Amino acid sequence: MSSGCGSANTTSACGAKGTTCSVDIAGTPRTYYVQLPSGYSASTPYKLIFQYHPWGGSADQALTMYQLNSKIPDAIYVTPQGLQAGSNGAGWENTNGVDIEFTKAMLADVQGKYCVDNSRIFSVGFSYGGMMSFAVACELSDVFRAIAPMSGALYSDPQCKGTGPHIAMWGSHGTSDTVVPIANGEAARDKVLAQNHCGTTTTPVDPAPCVKYEGCDPGYDVTWCEWDGPHGIPSFGSAAIAAFFKSF
């Protein structure tokens, strides 16, 4: 349980679209949403789910694009805004680790104000949001329980060594992705497989065409879904990710 359990804070100052919270990271104001579950109780430890938007997207977009709120209503959601990342809009370049520091600051804020189950902290994201989720796996695997990157890669943390503590993962990538080549997604996946000491043998799992790697550290499964599609979120993504996060 986090230090915010038992706090008098029972509503979020940044829980409604258009009303963000802010924190200063290396002299730059960063904004984010914190949404509490309906009927939030300061005596109940809740799952905490970070939602990272894709390149050119926004925190406003990510509030609903992963469609998890209705599937996992008993969770606290943190939805941050990325910085300008080239001509295509905001993203998660994580230059000099600023987005990891941003994540740490948001986490400390939420843990201090609200009741968080520190053993069930998750990250989801598509495209650049998936890349940031992989960065979380590389840099904060001692804090996060699992990630769910879709069409991700190591662009937000190219130096990821893949030798940190284990972290569970559900990942997907379209086989005809021309924006983020699937080989780059597989390279990122392989870093997590190494962290979790997984083998190379896989077993089919629902939904098809997903597979689960055998031999991973107990409780730190890696599910990988290569689907016949482009750079996008698979139709089965939301339901599968919700089921995955609920399993913890």
Q: Is residue 76 included in any domain, yes or no?
A: yes
Q: Is residue 219 included in any domain, yes or no?
A: yes
Residue range of the domain that includes 70: 21-246
| Inter-helix orientation angle 182-195/128-139, to 10° | 20
Q: Is residue 11 included in any domain, yes or no?
A: no
The first and second tokens of residue 114, run together, are 């609200």
Q: Which residues of 178-217 are buried (b: 16+ CB within 10 A; e: fewer)?
A: eebebebbeebbebbbebbebeeeeeebeeeebbbbeebe
pTM above 0.95, yes or no: yes
Q: Is residue 15 included in any domain, yes or no?
A: no
Give me the number of domains the chain comprises.
1
Residues 91-110, mean pLDDT to the nearest whole number? 97
Q: Is residue 16 included in any domain, yes or no?
A: no
What is the pLDDT of the chain when averaged over all its residues? 97
158: nearest Cα among 59, 248, 92: 92
Q: Is residue 10 included in any domain, yes or no?
A: no
Q: Is residue 103 included in any domain, yes or no?
A: yes
CATH number, domain of 73, equals: 3.40.50.1820
Q: Is residue 8 included in any domain, yes or no?
A: no
Residues 132-170 have pLDDT tens digits of 999 999 999 999 999 999 999 999 999 998 778 999 999
Q: How confident is the model at residue 167, as a pLDDT?
A: 98
Residues 179-227 have pLDDT tens digits of 999 999 999 999 999 999 999 999 999 999 999 999 999 999 999 999 9
